[in-house]
Structure 1
C-alpha cells in the first residue's frame, strides 16, 4: 500500500501527531484535472468524494451549493469540500456548468483566463472519518491568509501545472499532499474552526508532551497516573484538563487510539489476534477481544471478516 512520504514523518524525539494521524488514515492526494477555461465557464461536481481540493491557479470564480449563498473565490484561494450534495465552480453566479467528467474529456481551452485545479484525497478508516468530521462542508482559505510557505507551494504547483515534463503527475500529487497539511493548519487556526481535540492540545505543552508519547508508543502500559506524571500535574488536575481540552477523558482517548491501531492491523495484515493484542497494549488476546467488543459491539475476528468483505 502506497503511503505519501509527505505524511510519513516521525521524529526521533517526538511524534508529529498531525503527520501520524494522516499516515494512519493513509491520506494521499491525486490531481485529477487541471483545466483552462474562458469565461463564462462552469464545472459541475457530484459531491460524493470524501474530500476534494480546488485551487484557482488563475482567475476568479464562485462556488455554489444548494441552499447556501455562493462563495467568491480569487486566484490562489484554497477550497476543501467534504462529501454531500452536488456543487458547482463557476466564473459567475448562475452560469451553465458542464459535468467535470465531460470537461476532463474536452480538456483545456486555449487563451484561458482561468485555470482550475481539482484534486481528490483518500482518507481511510476511522481516523480518516474523524479528520473529515473536523471539517465543514466547504472550507475556504483565502490567498491573503496563506502562510508564506503555503503560498510558495501553491505558486510552485501553479508553475508545474502550466508546463510539462517527466514525473509531472507525481510532482502535482505530492504538492497536493503538502496543500492538505498547510490547509488543515490554516483552517484549524481560525477562531470559528472546530479542530480535533488532539490538535487543540498541541498548543498546551503539558498535554502535547503526553499525546506525543502516547501516539509514539500506545502499547506502553499507560495509566492516567503515568500520563499525569509525564504532564507534571496531579492525577485529578490532569484528568480534568485533558478532558476539557481534548474532549474526552484520557483513558477513553487511549482506548480509541489503540482501537484505531487495531483496526489498521486487522485490515492490513494477517497477524493473529494475539500478536495484534500485544502490539496495541493488551496483555493477551482475551483482554483485547473484550475491549474491542466493548468499543465496536462485535468481536475482532468478525469485524476483520466484515471489513475485508467490504474492500
Structure 2
C-alpha cells in the first residue's frame, strides 16, 4: 500500500451523524459538539461558515466544507446574523435560551429545521464522532477549514448521499457511512493534488529520495521489527542522517511515525471479526495482544476489544434524540 493510499484509507465512519437541514433566513446556529471532523455541503441556497479568528467563508450550492474540531464554528445565512440555535457536546440541541428543539423542528427521516419555502437553504451535514475514525495523522495535517468549490467537485457523491439520507432501508447506516467516507476522501485527494494548498509535511515528504523511500518501506512492511538503524540501512544512508531528515520533513521521528501507522492498520484489521487480537498484533509488528492493547489505548483512548465493539472514548448516552442525532442543527431518526 502506498503512503498516501494508506492515509486516505483511514476515514472509516462508524454510525456517523448525518442530517439534511432546512433553514429560512434569518438563521444561525452555533456548533459546539467538539466532533473531530465534520463535512457540510449546500444543496440549495447558500450559507456562511464562521470560525473564531478566521475570515467568514461563503458556501454556495455544491460547495463542500471540511471542518476540523474540536473548536466551535457557526453556520448562518449572513455573517451578521447571530446564532439562535446551539449544538452542544453529546449533540444536545436547543435555543440559546435553553429551549429544547428536538421534536419541534423534526421534518422526517434525518431531516430537521424549518418547513421548506422559497429562499430556504438546504444543507447536508455529516460528522465523524471519534478521531480514530479518520486517523490522527490525517486530522493533524488538515487546516481548520477546508473548502472545495462546486466547480472543482464534479462528483456524483453529493447527489448520492442526498438521495440516501432520506431512506429507511436495510443496511442504511453502512451505506451512509461509506458514502461519507468517499466524499471526504474525494475532497482530500483533490486538496493534496493542488499545488500551494498547504499540504501537510508527510505529503510533501513523498518526493524526497531518502524519506520517501523510507515511508514506502514502513507502509509496505509494518510488521517488520524496524529500528532507525535497519531502516537507514535499507535506504542507504546513516542512522543519524535518516533520523534528522525524516524528522525535518515529516515532523516526527521515524519510529513515532511507524507507531502511528501500525495503530492505524490495527484499527482497520480489528473490523474483521475473523481476526483475533493476537493475530492483529502480529500483523502490525507487536509482540502480542498486551503490547498492542497498551499502545492502542494510549493512542485511541479505548482498548482494541472496546474499539471492536464500537465503543468510543468519552461516549455519552445523552443525545438530542432517543435514537440517533446528527452534527449540525439537530436530531435525525435512523
Give unmatched runs, 5+ long, in structure 2.
Answer: 88-92, 94-100, 106-110, 316-334
Query: SS in structure 1 opposite 2:154?
Result: helix
Please state if 1:34 is matched with 2:20. yes
Contact 1:52/1:118 (<8 A) preserved: yes
- Partner Cα separation in structure 2 for residue 143 and residue 106 of structure 1: 24
Please state if 1:241 is matched with 2:248. no
Measure how far apart 1:50 and its partner are: 1.7
Partner of 2:36: 50
Contact 1:48/1:85 (<8 A) preserved: yes
Query: SS in structure 1 opposite 2:226?
Result: coil
- Partner Cα separation in structure 2 for residue 162 and residue 254 of structure 1: 37
Please state if 1:59 is matched with 2:45. yes
Match of 1:74 among 43, 47, 60: 60
Measure how far apart 1:88 and its partner are: 2.1
Measure how far apart 1:131 and its partner are: 2.7
Measure how far apart 1:33 and its partner are: 1.3
Measure how far apart 1:60 and its partner are: 2.0
What TM-score, normalized by structure 1, do the two folds share? 0.67
Residue deviations 1:66-91 (CA, integer Å, cap 9, x gap): 45442222222211222245432111
Give unmatched runs, 5+ long, in structure 1.
Answer: 1-14
Residue deviations 1:77-132 (CA, integer Å, cap 9, x gap): 21122224543211112235443643554455144542211111244449733332
Measure how far apart 1:55 and its partner are: 0.7
Residue deviations 1:187-239 (CA, integer Å, cap 9, x gap): 444635252x4333334465444423322331213344553455465656544
Contact 2:20/2:124 (<8 A) preserved: yes
Distance 1:98 1:268, change over 3 A: farther
The RMSD of aligned alpha carbons is 4.5
- Which 4+ runs in 1 deviate beyond 6 A? 161-165, 262-270, 295-298, 302-309
Partner of 1:116: 123
Query: SS in structure 1 opposite 2:16?
Result: strand
Distance 1:178 1:71, change over 3 A: same
Match of 1:134 among 133, 138, 141: 141
Contact 2:22/2:112 (<8 A) preserved: no
What TM-score, normalized by structure 2, do the two folds share? 0.63
Match of 1:88 among 54, 74, 89: 74
Partner of 2:332: none
Alignment of 1:270-289 (within 5 A): 278-281=282-285
Measure how far apart 1:140 and its partner are: 2.1
Distance 1:126 1:239, change over 3 A: farther
- Partner Cα separation in structure 2 for residue 83 and residue 108 of structure 1: 30
Distance 1:110 1:26, change over 3 A: same
Partner of 2:321: none
